[in-house]
Amino acid sequence: METKIYLNKKQTCEFIGIDNNTLDKWIHKYNFPFIRIGGIIRFETQDIKNFMDMFKVL
The predicted structure's pLDDT at residue 2: 79
The predicted structure's pLDDT at residue 4: 95
Q: How far apart are CA 27 and CA 7, in angstroms?
A: 15
The predicted structure's pLDDT at residue 1: 75
Domain layout of the chain by residue ranges: 6-54
pTM (predicted TM-score): 0.89
Classify domain 6-54 at the CATH class level: mainly alpha
How would you write the pLDDT of the chain (58 residues) with one tens digit per residue? Answer: 779 999 999 999 999 999 999 999 999 999 999 999 999 999 999 999 999 999 999 8
Angle (CA) 18-8-23 rounded to 5° is 30
